Chains A and B, each alone.
Chain A
Amino acid sequence: MTQYNLQINFLELYRNDDRIFSEISFHLSEGQHLLISGANGTGKTSLLRVICGLTIPTGGTIVWNQLATNNIDCHYHEHLAYLGHKNALIPELTARENLEYTFEGNRSMNRTSSVLEAFGLNKYLDQYAEKLSNGQIRKVALSRILLSEKTLWILDEPVANLDTSGTQFLLAEMQAHLDQGGMLITTSNLNDQTLKPNSEINLDKA
């Protein structure tokens, strides 16, 4: 049983001549939660996208299990689940079809129905995603992450648009994920409810 860990060294990102962020370094191992905080426009989303490998950083390295993520032997993406501002739901498909479209992981039926039950989604499964409300769309997207069985969850403002019960359930699920040795990186605005992080990066100061 390997211990997963993520090491970020001196990450920096420039767009044209504007600095988005620089000198970001941290270490994350199993069961740990990193919170990236900061006001709007301080580059939280950009940082998450760099950590996921969607954006190529101007400088710095991302190391997963002692292998740089651009190394061909590094199976970083097999362990990574990312949810950004965009919920990645295809409006022309129903909620159920959108969920089935995540073709990874062989989760149990019980688990699936309990997650959907807790989010109160069961009634809406056969509606087209374009007919769902923002909160419901967010819940479908989040259930996709919860059911993904990946080690590292990277969530951009996970509780945005969620109602109280949904938030409670999500926080509990995130805690359970950490307890099972999962890893978690989230961003949040200061007034969001969130779990207590093991470490925090505040982009306001950087």
Chain B
Amino acid sequence: MMKVLRIIFLKDLKVSLRRWSDLLTSFILFVLVCLIFPLTLGNDPSLLLKIIGPVMLVAALLATLLAMQNIFRPDVLNGSLEQLTLNTYPLTLIICTKIFSFWAITSLPLILISGFIASSYYVTGNSILIVILTLLLSTPSLVHISALAAALTVAIRYPGALMALIIIPLSLPIMIFGAKAIEFSISGIDASAPLYFLLGMMFFTCSLGPVVTAAAIKISID
């Protein structure tokens, strides 16, 4: 069983890397959204420190949204996803593996670069670590919610706007608490409360998300 999941994980990594232009687009989107605020607002440190939390989260959300449109679509089009549903292995675990590999390939680069972006927003010291930690805890939830939306809309030709309409209300708690965690740590307040919430949401979405996503996949390829 674990061997099968490892094969799927590695194969998805490989395939995603060969579709590198998609990934690069979402990564560039993240960086650009983060850059556009200092460029338009001016480089006033107090202002930038105030907005970094929401900007970071919104940029991560947009990048996830863009990348996740393609998590299931190519596999549905070439028919390999329906072969996976006919498999004897539980679809939930397969989907979970797929989402995790997608997270590793789309969100990890964002997390890695977020430290640099934070320092360009004049964030210093421990707060940089909190920014990275916040993204580390919130992106899995965002990816799982987006995967559900992608699975529901996989049969629709232009799913972008509809996916946004589904994802944004559902991911609101993560956005709120993520932005607050960053804001707290910058203003010197203990940020552990929102971070614990994000951790809770991460476990919640990671455990229930794949179940619902697998059900949605089965419906969508019907």
Contact = CB atoms under 8 A, between A and B. Distances in A.
B222 A55 contact: yes
A92 B15 contact: yes
Given A54-B221, A56-B222, A97-B11, A92 B86 contact: no
Contact of B15 (A80, A87, A88, A90): A90
A54 B222 contact: yes
Interface residues of B, number: 22
Interface string B84-96: 0111100000000
B7 interface: yes
A85 B85 CA distance: 16
A136 to B, nearest CB: 15
Interface in B12-51: 14-15, 18-19
Interface stretch (B74-82, B104-112, B121-129): B74-82
Contacts of B80: 88-90
B88 A104 contact: yes
Among B15, B80, B85: residue with most chain A CB under 10 A: B80
Contact of A78 (B4, B14, B83, B88): B88
Given A55-B222, A77-B87, A90-B75, A101 B7 contact: yes
Nearest to A75: B88
Contacts, number: 57
A192 B75 CA distance: 29
Contact of A90 (B4, B78, B222): B78
Q: Is the interface of A mostly helix, strand, loop or mixed?
A: loop
Contacts of B222: 54-56
B19 A92 contact: yes
A84 B82 contact: yes
A92 B18 contact: yes
A86 B87 contact: no
A82 B78 contact: no
Given A90-B15, A92-B18, A77 B88 contact: yes
Contact of A88 (B3, B11, B18, B79): B79
17 contacts: A54-B82, A54-B85, A56-B222, A77-B88, A80-B86, A84-B82, A86-B78, A87-B78, A88-B78, A88-B82, A90-B15, A90-B74, A92-B18, A93-B14, A93-B15, A93-B18, A103-B4
Interface of A: 52-56, 75, 77-78, 80, 82, 84-93, 97, 101, 103-104
Interface of B: 3-4, 7, 11, 14-15, 18-19, 74-75, 77-80, 82-83, 85-88, 221-222
